[in-house]
Amino acid sequence: MGFLDIDNTTKSYGAVEVLHNVDISIEEGEFLVLVGPSGCGKSTLLNMIAGLEEISSGEIRIKDQVMNGVHPSKRNIAMVFQSYALYPNMKVGQNITFGLEMHGTPKPEREKAMREVANLLQIEQLLDRKPGALSGGQRQRVAMGRALVRDPDVFLFDEPLSNLDAKLRVDMRTEIKKLHQKLGTTIVYVTHDQIEAMTLSTRIAVMNGGYVQQLGTPQDIYDTPANIFVATFMGSPAMNVVPARVAVENGKPMARVALHDGTETALPFSQDNMADWDGKDILLGIRPETITDEDAADRKSSNIAHMTNRIVVTEPAGSDTFVTMTMGGKDVIARMRSDAEVHPGADFTFAVNMEKAVAFDPATEARIAP
């Protein structure tokens, strides 16, 4: 039994099931991120934890208490909304203490709690203003203050950073992470931004089409994605997925991949069990940062393969230069050092770290190796 258990939970509207048998259990102090494209059901799941949507079947438990049918205010949770949902007619101070007031906390205690939170978030000077007079970042802080002041068991965040500009978003991300580390609270956080998911979470649930595709630590998710959806959704630029055929050469399973001119190159697998797929088609997943020039190849890797392919486009991005080529009829992106000598139209020899490569079954799109 965890701190928050989502036990075989489904959600249907009429005959349409939109969430299918979700099973997630997290411990106290964990930071769970629900990530996925819009419409994947992540917000619905969050709302079900909050009690804003009914649970069609299964159970949600917080601290072993079944929450099904319990009113949101009785679940000891707090929520930060995408739009912040600050009450426009109340001052910041009233916004923060409204929840305490509704729960019957006496005024002096409310004032005290409000001061503490305001101090923590450095918004003391805003307490007498109306939300309309605040900037986006300030509103964000107030919204967090409103959640914090309640000292809830679980914090729920519904895409809290998506309305901020890029710079502020990064700052607030760090802020949230700091708060989590400082306070050790349990957080469920919904976002569609995989970087937020990776940077903030202790665990990630990647969702799509109403299913949890994969639940795991950020590293698990990144290195061993359960399927092509997870593989391409997490990471930027996305993982390259190219058609390949397995061929055992000299007892070693190799991935044969077509290059720009139709000639094939053989990239050796690190996993011997790929020999089982001899002669069959697979999809080969290679992350952009594992395709480099020779000098930048991972020295710890035991399986660096080389291939020469033609560069189509180069995109210098300051810290890195992205190179696009064609493999298996698809665009493949490589992430090179910024000082790499790459020119569009030229042939170039790439080093591929096959230790990190992932193979998928083209029929089920599930990972078969590693």
Partner 1 sequence: MAQAANADFKTRLQTWLPKLVLSPSLAMVLIFVYGFIAFSVYLSFTDSRLLPSFGWVGWENYSKLWRLSHWETSITNMGIFALLYIGICTVLGLSLAIFLDQKIRAEGFIRTVYLYPMALSFIVTGTAWKWFLDPGIGLENVMQSWGWTSFEFDWIKNRDFAIYTVVLAAVWQTSGFVMAMFLAGLRGIDNEILKAAQMDGASNWNLYRRIIIPQLRPAFLSAFVILSHLAIKTFDLVIALTGGGPGRATELPATFMYSYTFSRNQMGIGAASATIMLMTIAAIMIPYLYAELREKK
Partner 2 sequence: MMAHATQDTAIRTGRAVRMLIYLVLVLFALFYMLPLYVMLVNSVKPLDEITGGGMMNLPQVWTLAPWAKAWSSAQIGVEPTGLSPYFWNSIKMVVPAVAISTILGALNGYVLTKWRFRGDTILFGLMLFACFIPFQIVLIPMARMLGLMGLAGTTWGLVLVHVVYGIGFTTLYFRNYYAVFPTELVRAAQIDGAGFFQIFWRILLPSSGPIAVVSIIWQFTNIWNDFLFGASFAGADSQPMTVALNNLVQASHGVKEYNVHFAGAILAALPTLLVYIVAGRYFVRGLMAGSVKG
Burial class for 370, CB neighbours closer than 10 Å (0-12, 13-18, 19+): middle
Query: Residue from 8, 57, 65, 73 that binds partner 2 (CB under 8 A)?
Result: 73
CB count, 10 Å around CB of 344? 11
Spatial CA neighbour of 224 closest among 256, 161, 270: 270
- Quick check: 360 and 368 in contact, CB under 8 A? yes
Rank residues 102 and 317 by Cβ distance to partner 1 and give the closer one: 102
- 85 in contact with partner 2 (CB under 8 A): yes
Query: Residue from 1, 69, 88, 182 that binds partner 2 (CB under 8 A)?
Result: 88
- 82 in contact with partner 2 (CB under 8 A): yes
Residue type, 279: G
CB count, 10 Å around CB of 59? 13
Q: What is the DSSP letter of 210?
A: T
- 139 in contact with partner 2 (CB under 8 A): no
Beta bridge partners of 335: 322
Q: Which stretch binds partner 2 (CB under 8 A): 98-106, 302-310, 339-347, 355-363?
A: 98-106
Q: In this structure, what are the phi and psi dihedrals at residue 214, rounded to the nearest 5 degrees?
A: -160, 140
Rank residues 63 and 280 by Cβ distance to partner 1 and give the closer one: 63
- Quick check: 310 and 347 in contact, CB under 8 A? yes
Distance CA 155, CA 29 (A): 10
Interacting partner of 82 out of partner 2, partner 1, none (Cβ under 5 to 8 A depending on kind): partner 2
- 78 in contact with partner 2 (CB under 8 A): yes
Rank residues 68 and 271 by Cβ distance to partner 1 and give the closer one: 68
- C-beta of 180: minimal distance to partner 2 in Å? 19
Which stretches of the chain bind partner 1, using CB under 8 A? Answer: 69-71, 74
Tokens for 359, please give them: 């193979």
Interacting partner of 70 out of partner 2, partner 1, none (Cβ under 5 to 8 A depending on kind): partner 1
- 89 in contact with partner 2 (CB under 8 A): yes
Rank residues 74 and 112 by Cβ distance to partner 1 and give the closer one: 74
- 69 in contact with partner 2 (CB under 8 A): no
Rank residues 79 and 114 by Cβ distance to partner 2 and give the closer one: 79
Residue type, 251: G
Q: Indicate the SS3 state at residue 44.
A: helix
Which residues of this chain interact with partner 2, rule CB under 8 A? 47, 50-52, 71-74, 77-79, 81-83, 85-90, 98-99, 102-103, 146, 150
